[in-house]
Amino acid sequence: MSIEDVRRRHEARLMGIPDVVGVGIGQTAGGRVIQVFVKEITKGVREKVPAVLDGFPTEIVRVGDVRRL
């Protein structure tokens, strides 16, 4: 499965976690990761977002309060 497929497969579940506002694909020094976007990084989010999804690492990313500009 590609990272795009894995992201899509877990999207609904990840976005159901309180404080999670989105998911996407990003890049770290180690390669591509599934980014989980949150308004603020909380203990609850850290506990509920798995570190690895179907072999691809996740990264919790604080995006703040995203509004139309």
Q: Which residues bind another protein (CB under 8 A)?
A: 4, 7, 11, 15, 21-27, 32, 35, 37, 61-69
Query: Buried b / exposed e across 23-57, counting CB within 10 Å, b at 16+?
Result: beeeeeeeeebbbbbbeeeeeebeebbeeebeebe
Minimum Å distance from CB 46 to another protein? 18
- What's the one-letter identity of residue 59? E
Q: Residue 65 Cβ, how far from another protein at the closest point, in Å?
A: 5
Nearer to another protein, 27 or 42 (CB): 27
